Structure 1
Amino acid sequence: MAIAKADFIEGVAKGMAVLESFDTERQRLNATLAAERAGLTRAAARRHLLTLTHLGYLETDGSYFWMAPKVLRFSGSYLASSRLPRALQPTLNRLAAQTHESFSAVVLDGEEVVIIARGGGYGAHTHALAYGLHLGARLPVHATSTGCVLLATMSAAGLNAWLKGRVLPRLTSHTLTQAKALRQRISQVRADDYCIATEEHELGVQALAVPLRNMQGHTVAALNVVLPGAPRPASQLQHDLLPLLFEAAREVRPML
């Protein structure tokens, strides 16, 4: 959303940039690292770090800073007030109980997808993936089944804009890192209306995703099932799990 320059509060933007500097790669930052990550001077980063610590959003040992539990207020408020996670949760729970697999609902946020609802934790297949599948987990768009499903909903111009100048990091030997290959992949996903991603984000992890559309036909999220262990043949996924995902997508459509 574009706003007038007079309405833009630069201090808020810088403070949020400092908060967003913390991630799974860097859980603890000093002023120098925060400045590099947020695109600020060291002095400005230090002031923001100290202010956020004073407000209770960060903790510090005097040199390094890390996120405090108070930051969860943001995600908690979203999950409590947003209709989408609440509408999807019963369906995710039912699918997990029915199959003993792990299911997630995911939305697009720039170059990442974000898990907004989960159902799982049942049966022998469950284990903690290296990157985690907790609520709020952020995963790279190009290397995930849900990301490809959400990219497939973009117009040609929208996809071009998303890809322009973007580096597609290699996470495993199966990750697509060339724009041309990803375009071909997206074209196939658009035709199939689902995506299978096998060990593209993490070795030993396979996923199958479908779009979640509202009654107006707009895709608002993606639904996937995550399958740890040895990859399963596509034909098995299409037979055993794809119909369940499509049926779930039809079931929740009136609530989106």
Structure 2
Amino acid sequence: MSTSHTPIARVDFIEGLAKGLSVLESFDTQRQRLNATQAAERAGLTRAAARRHLLTLAHLGYLETDGSHYWLSPKVLRFSGSYLASARLPRLIQPTLNRLAALTRESFSAVVLDEDEVVIVARSVSPGGQRLMAYGLHLGARLPAHATSTGRVLLAAKSRGELSAWLKGRELARLTPRTTVDHKAFRAVIDQVRADDFAVAREEHELGVFALAVPLRNVQGQTLAALNVVASPQRLEESTLRQDLLPLLLDAARELRPLL
């Protein structure tokens, strides 16, 4: 998954397809059920156009409806399922996640950036032990980039100019009392992540959840994804972090680099 867009000639652009996809993207965890008016507002369409797209998507089986409101059907999982089954990145990373989980009894994930969210493309749950997992950390889960260790690692891969463009006009949602929401403070956090080459998020996305992430780079030095572990606060204290989990993640990232 990429945040970049492939250039396309205007004559090749299918506007109807783009509008239909924008209607599908209107559904999220905050808005699970939409009527035509709500879908129109979220997709930037007229109500009449949104209604036609909703009816078509329901006819094709991608939405379910009670005649007034619409919601996503299980058929939309075909897209994510196909990606996770066929994409090269998750397949390359999965054995490493399994090995790390077996070695530490912690839970590991590989994550990519998609605009203002990160998406989990591979994960491994510890085979016993703590089984410490944040809510919703499943394959395909989307989390706010600004409040997660993986998101901060991926944002740190941007230049300062690119980060400024990403932040412009963007409100950083306060998810817990510990979430960094001030733009100046957030820039300082990302600068520190760049200097450290890792990120620790302590209860900024969810209370009780502590996570550590490092970048996954290819041989050209491009950051393609982030590797993280969700662990107990004791495991992520500065005294143990640098001699315990961090070396494991950095070694794994180095091992994966020639493969990515």
Using the alignment, how far apart are the partners of 1:121 and 1:73 within structure 2?
A: 27
One-letter identity of the residue aligned with 1:119: S
Using the alignment, how far apart are the partners of 2:221 and 2:99 within structure 1?
A: 24
Using the alignment, how far apart are the partners of 1:248 and 1:128 within structure 2?
A: 21
State TM-score, norm by structure 2. 0.93
Shift of 1:161: 1.1
- Give the alignment partner of residue 90 of structure 2, picking from 66, 85, 89: 85
One-letter identity of the residue aligned with 2:86: S
Using the alignment, how far apart are the partners of 2:169 and 2:114 within structure 1?
A: 17
One-letter identity of the residue aligned with 2:149: S
Identity score, percent: 70
Q: Is the 8 A contact 1:206 1:231 kept in 2?
A: no
Alignment of 1:141-152 (within 5 A): 141-152=145-156
Q: Are 1:98 and 2:107 an aligned pair? A: no
Deviation digits for residues 200-240 of structure 1, max 9, x if unmatched? 01100000000001111111100000125778422222221
- Give the alignment partner of residue 212 of structure 1, picking from 201, 210, 216: 216
Q: Are 1:248 and 2:252 an aligned pair? A: yes
Structure 2 CA distance for partners of 1:231 and 1:100, relative to 1, 3 Å: closer
Shift of 1:127: 5.3
One-letter identity of the residue aligned with 2:187: R
Query: Structure 2, unaligned stretches of length 5 or more?
Result: 1-5
Query: Structure 1, unaligned stretches of length 5 or more?
Result: none
* Farther off after superposition, 220-229 or 244-253: 220-229
Structure 2 CA distance for partners of 1:173 and 1:255, relative to 1, 3 Å: same
Deviation digits for residues 98-117 of structure 1, max 9, x if unmatched? 11111110011101111110
Structure 2 CA distance for partners of 1:127 and 1:210, relative to 1, 3 Å: closer
Using the alignment, how far apart are the partners of 1:26 and 1:229 within structure 2?
A: 33
Q: Are 1:138 and 2:120 an aligned pair? A: no
Alignment of 1:125-204 (within 5 A): 125-126=130-131, 129-130=134-135, 132-204=136-208
Using the alignment, how far apart are the partners of 1:205 and 1:90 within structure 2?
A: 25
Q: Are 1:14 and 2:6 an aligned pair? A: no
- Give the alignment partner of residue 72 of structure 1, picking from 63, 77, 85: 77
Q: Is the 8 A contact 2:235 2:241 kept in 1?
A: no
Aligned residues: 255
Shift of 1:196: 0.5
Shift of 1:158: 1.1
Q: Is the 8 A contact 2:132 2:231 kept in 1?
A: no
Q: Is the 8 A contact 1:196 1:234 kept in 2?
A: no
Instruction: Indicate the residue corresponding to 2:10 in structure 1.
Output: 5
Q: Are 1:122 and 2:146 an aligned pair? A: no
Using the alignment, how far apart are the partners of 2:246 and 2:233 within structure 1?
A: 18
Q: Is the 8 A contact 1:205 1:231 kept in 2?
A: no
Deviation digits for residues 9-55 of structure 1, max 9, x if unmatched? 11111111111111111222121221121111221111111101111
One-letter identity of the residue aligned with 1:181: A
One-letter identity of the residue aligned with 1:67: L
Using the alignment, how far apart are the partners of 1:234 and 1:36 within structure 2?
A: 46
SS of the aligned residue for 1:63 comes to coil
Structure 2 CA distance for partners of 1:230 and 1:49, relative to 1, 3 Å: farther
Q: Is the 8 A contact 1:204 1:230 kept in 2?
A: no
- Give the alignment partner of residue 25 of structure 1, picking from 8, 25, 30: 30
Instruction: Indicate the residue corresponding to 1:226 in structure 2.
Output: 230
Instruction: Indicate the residue corresponding to 1:62 in structure 2.
Output: 67
One-letter identity of the residue aligned with 2:44: G
Instruction: Indicate the residue corresponding to 2:242 in structure 1.
Output: 238
